[in-house]
């Protein structure tokens, strides 16, 4: 039987769940801000395949992680979810393709996935091309504007 919040018509359990999600998000934001990180992806996942990982002697992903979200525990790499910003620096530095899998969601809802340094490079290149194109468009919104200056 579902309980309704008085006057709201909404399920009380949904409201409590929503409130705890908000609180968790707020705590995460405070934690990340305390280490100087203000902009980040707040939805995503990181999976590490320990069958192909080269182990503690490699350690490159742990060293590359900007938030210290990765750590070793009993011969495996652990992840502190609240510290992960889904930047994919771990994938970019991993020496084994498809060993680390990072998924993240952009604010426009678009999903991105990385399993190799090449995936990360392709996306970085695409972002810098888009930024360049946006900058040109902001200076010359139309071909006519361009021709007026240089034609
Ligand atoms: S995605 Fe970024 S923050 Fe998350 S574990 Fe990898 S390097 Fe660390
Ligand atoms: S960088 Fe890749 S191979 Fe090296 S420890 Fe991390 S997951 Fe394992």
DSSP H or E run through 45: strand 44-48
CA pair distance 6, 70, nearest whole angstrom:
44
pLDDT of residue 118: 95
Other CB atoms within 10 Å distance of the CB of residue 101:
17
Nearest CA to ligand 2 atom 6: 61
Q: Where are the domains of the chain?
A: 1-38, 40-150
> Which segments of the chain have a pLDDT < 70?
1-9
Cβ atoms within 10 A of the Cβ of 96, count? 15
How far apart are the CA of 87 and the centre of ligand 1, in A? 5
How many whole angstroms separate alpha carbon 2 and alpha carbon 21?
20
Ligand 2, from 49, 96, 98: best to mutate by most atoms within 8 Å of Cβ?
A: 96
Q: What pLDDT score was predicted for residue 1?
A: 45
Contact between 61 and 77 (Cβ < 8 Å): yes
Task: Give pLDDT, residue 8.
Answer: 56
114-125 pLDDT, tens digit each: 999 999 999 888
The DSSP secondary-structure symbol of 73 reads E
Spatial CA neighbour of 101 closest among 79, 82, 83: 79
Query: What are the Cα distances from residue 57, in Å, to 62, 69, 115?
Result: 11, 18, 21
Probe residue for ligand 2, chosen from 51, 57, 59 as the CB with the greatest number of ligand atoms within 8 Å: 59
């Amino acid at each position: 039987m579902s309980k309704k919040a008085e006057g709201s018509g909404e399920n009380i359990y949904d409201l409590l769940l929503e409130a705890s999600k908000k609180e968790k998000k707020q705590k995460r934001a405070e934690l990340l801000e305390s280490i100087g990180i203000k902009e980040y992806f707040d939805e995503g996942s990181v999976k590490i395949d320990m069958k192909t990982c080269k182990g503690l002697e490699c350690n490159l992903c742990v060293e590359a992680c900007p938030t210290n979200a990765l750590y070793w525990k009993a011969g495996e790499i652990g992840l502190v979810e609240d510290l992960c910003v889904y930047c994919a620096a771990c994938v970019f530095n991993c020496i084994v393709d498809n060993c680390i899998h990072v998924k993240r969601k952009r604010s426009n809802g678009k999903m991105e996935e990385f399993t190799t340094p090449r995936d990360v490079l392709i996306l970085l290149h695409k972002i810098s091309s888009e930024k360049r194109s946006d900058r040109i468009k902001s200076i010359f919104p139309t071909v006519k504007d361009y021709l007026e200056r240089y034609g």
